[in-house]
Amino acid sequence: MVNRDATRRWTKRLFDPLLGKRRVEQCGLRTYDLRRPGGRRRFHLRSNADGSAVLLIDATDAIHLNPTAALLARLAFDGVPVERAAAALRRQFRGVSAAQARSDAERIYALVERLTDATDRCPTCTITSAAEAMVKWQPPFSVPISAPYKADLALTYDCNNNCRHCYNQCPRPRAAARSAEPVGSPLKKLVSESSGATAGLSGSASGISPKHTAGQAGSGTLFQQAGGSSTLSTKQWYQVLDRLAAVGVPHIIYTGGEPTLFDSLPDLIRRAADLGLVSGLNTNGRRLSDAGYVESLRSAGLDHVQITLQSDDRAVHNAMCGAAAFDETVRGLKNSLAADLHAITNTTLTRRNIGQAGRLVDFLHDLGLTVFAMNGMIFAGGGLNCGDEIGVEELAPVLADVRDRAAQRRMRFLWYTPTEYCRLSPVELELGPRRCNAGEYSICIEPNGDVIPCQSYYVPVGNILRDSWPTIWESALFRRFRNRGADPRAAGLPAPCWECPDLPLCGGGCPLEQDHRRSVSTTARESKQAEMRQTEPSVHA
């Protein structure tokens, strides 16, 4: 039963400058920023060529709309009265009766009304059977998309910490461009074939980021930057943001290296806000110990911040970060919370801090956090050789303990690492499904504008300022990432995955970890063979 009064109230509210702020961009992505007494909620409506659309709520929940629902949702958000929306529907879709058009319009308007209720903590729970026929709440990874939902911008690879397990490797051997290799096995080979083929915008650069190099061996062609400079200029980053908005990417994460070392960060956040994009910051938090700097980010439009905190123990955190960082990081966290930024922490669980994971939850709770995240080792850069990784057998009980402690304290625990479900299932651990979404829901832009699937997978498929979006999005590597579920064999996944019922949600785990395990077992096999050769009597002796 449609509540027409509610529909009218909603339309009125959209035009009320005190309650709702409406913004429509000219760049392929419609943004609606609604501020209500119950809170703020942002919507991004991204249209597809066939008239269907995806509606993103606070850049996290996605609802797929058929062409009819897409048109009606746009009109509802634009504040067009429901009668006129029904008439527009009939003009666009011939053969629709007046009664049907009115009924469809009222259903979608009522849905939009409910979605905008910022006091409702689960907006997609409001999708009822009344609108289900027009609105698809699809399982993750089941609907092809035309651009990712999120882009990580690695503004610089400079860093004021020096974590031994850091997944960044700078200077770095450079992978051959435009890989045709399966996602499950490319990195080592590509790195060894390094040719520096994506040398940035000028194609002839040789600048190298001066980031930490201790313990991170680099060989072959070093990381090359645009035009010989260490990063894109602020003006070029503006162009990157414009480009991402134009193809419909609603969510930007500033990362690195350490992104707060990039002086123009507040300017980039402001530009993204002007484009209607949601901005997040992944940082070690040290520069946030300056409350004035936090305020400059907040007032520029920063929406959320994630601060890496490895332990509540100063000595352990500092040892893992390779710097005396703990006090600044904790102060940065407190400043972020005081500035009313949505702040969370992330912790990489390694052999050095696993024993303190439980008590870290208490520490974060006492600081006032309501959400925190953890991840396992990422097998790239320092993570390949530091030897601090933890096996899944050891990890599972720790995650269960952290989960239970978080629940007792009414905190939300996010587990980031996409493990192989047959070894450690996040679903069975009640942590929710986790699957690698690189090259699909998420991409990374390097300091020189090169586009890679994720921050740890150093294989560029093009340059965001130089190459067309279809060239990047439809590159062989990105397509293989996206097609893992449909064609696991071509994607390089091992035979047990091919017919596995868990494949759609598991995706075979992290390809970097698979690659690492293969290389470790190959190395072990080779050394065993060498050992046997040494002990075998030679037939030619």
- Point out which residues bind ligand SF4 (CB under 6 A): 378, 418, 420-422, 436, 438, 454, 456-457, 496-497, 500, 502-503, 506, 508-512
Q: Cβ of residue 451: shortest distance to ligand SF4, in angstroms?
A: 14
Nearer to ligand SF4, 309 or 512 (CB): 512
Q: Cβ of residue 515: shortest distance to ligand SF4, in angstroms?
A: 9
Runs of H (alpha helix) within 324-382: 326-338, 357-367
Q: Cβ of residue 375: shortest distance to ligand SF4, in angstroms?
A: 9
Backbone angles phi, psi at 39, to 5 degrees: 135, -170
Instruction: Output the DSSP codes for 394-463.
Output: HHHHHHHHHHHHHHHTT-EEEE-----TTT--TTTTTS------BTTTEEEE-TTSEEESBTTB----EE
Tokens 């409910």 correspond to: 114
Q: Cβ of residue 454: shortest distance to ligand SF4, in angstroms?
A: 3
Nearer to ligand SF4, 501 or 537 (CB): 501
Nearer to ligand SF4, 111 or 380 (CB): 380
CA neighbor of 255 nearest in space, from 321, 156, 179: 156
Structure tokens at 296: 């400059």
- Beta strands per DSSP E along 160-277: 251-255
Instruction: Output the DSSP codes for 479-522.
Output: HHHHTTTT-TTTTT--HHHHT-TTHHHHTTS-HHHHHHHHHHHH
Q: How far is 67 from 53, CA to CA, in rounded Å?
A: 7
Nearer to ligand SF4, 426 or 511 (CB): 511
Q: Cβ of residue 164: shortest distance to ligand SF4, in angstroms?
A: 18
Structure tokens at 441: 């829901």
Nearer to ligand SF4, 263 or 487 (CB): 487
Q: Cβ of residue 500: shortest distance to ligand SF4, in angstroms?
A: 3
Q: How many CB atoms lie under 10 A from the CB of residue 26? A: 8
Q: How many CB atoms lie under 10 A from the CB of residue 303? A: 21
Q: Cβ of residue 93: shortest distance to ligand SF4, in angstroms?
A: 40
Nearer to ligand SF4, 254 or 457 (CB): 457
**CA dist list (Å): 224 to 207, 217, 218, 228, 263:** 6, 16, 13, 8, 21
Nearer to ligand SF4, 335 or 437 (CB): 437
Q: Cβ of residue 427: shortest distance to ligand SF4, in angstroms?
A: 10
Nearer to ligand SF4, 75 or 438 (CB): 438
